[in-house]
Amino acid sequence: MSFKKYLKEQLAFLYYNFYHKHTTQIGNRILIYHAIGSKLAHDSYGISITKERFLEHMQFLKEQYTIIALDEHYEDKLDTNTLCITFDDGYKDNLYALEVCQMYGIPFTLYITTGTIGQKDYLNAQDIRLFAKSSICTLGTHGATHTRLAMLSYEKQEDELRKSKQTLEDIIGKKVLHVSYPHGSYNADTIDLIGKIGYNIASSSHIGFNTKENVDLRRLKRIEIIASDDIQNLERKILGYYDYLAFKEKNLTEHKS
């Protein structure tokens, strides 16, 4: 283990056991998955987790938590402790996730980068219609080109958000109301645009817990699950061990804007 990782884990342990554990928050935790089982050329971080581990995670989550759909009624469901499952990017191997989640009756939201639809390692239009047909799946966009939105002009952002919405709607024949920000990147223009374009709910990559008091439907907090997350670490992420990282993030966001 690298020293950085060791330090991160020590801080997480201290933060959770001496502070977070003693706060009584009721609300929803959203998990982010990406690929399952595929060896991706650009994956140096571990965004592709093995099929075995994914199955193990879903079995564990189904047994231990109440998993709810991240849909239009999300805000009304924050008075109990719940969990949401999301997938970013739209990898081909998410068909396996559909199979597993269908088997266990686990609702999930899939955010698709529309520019990569049909490319190697990514879902094609026919696959996407399978997800759209399933009652457990909610579909959303994840940009057209997976560009960091905060780096783009207002016009270019509008283009990304509109085009991706239109493309996905054309494929599934239904309105698309959900979006997640590529790389978690957004700024004040993005927030302005999503309402204007007709998105109802947007997911960010800010780490944290969504409660009735803090919920922001234009930047829902989520936490990423990666290949090295065994059941113990998955549980720690849900419990809030890593929520201290939000303090660091906040400073970064403020610095950027």
Residues at the site binding Zn ion, with contacts judged by CB under 5 A: 88-89, 182
Nearest CB to Zn ion, comparing residues 89 and 93:
89
Nearest CB to Zn ion, comparing residues 20 and 89:
89
The nearest distance, CB 20 to Zn ion, in angstroms, is 27
The nearest distance, CB 33 to Zn ion, in angstroms, is 11
Taking CB positions, which residue lies at the least distance from Zn ion? Answer: 88
Nearest CB to Zn ion, comparing residues 45 and 154:
45
The nearest distance, CB 229 to Zn ion, in angstroms, is 18
Nearest CB to Zn ion, comparing residues 81 and 147:
147
The nearest distance, CB 181 to Zn ion, in angstroms, is 9
**86 close to 107: Cβ distance less than 8 angstroms:** no
- Look at strands 48-49 and 201-203 and give their pairing: unpaired
The nearest distance, CB 35 to Zn ion, in angstroms, is 10
Nearest CB to Zn ion, comparing residues 16 and 111:
111
115 vs 91: CA distance, rounded Å: 12
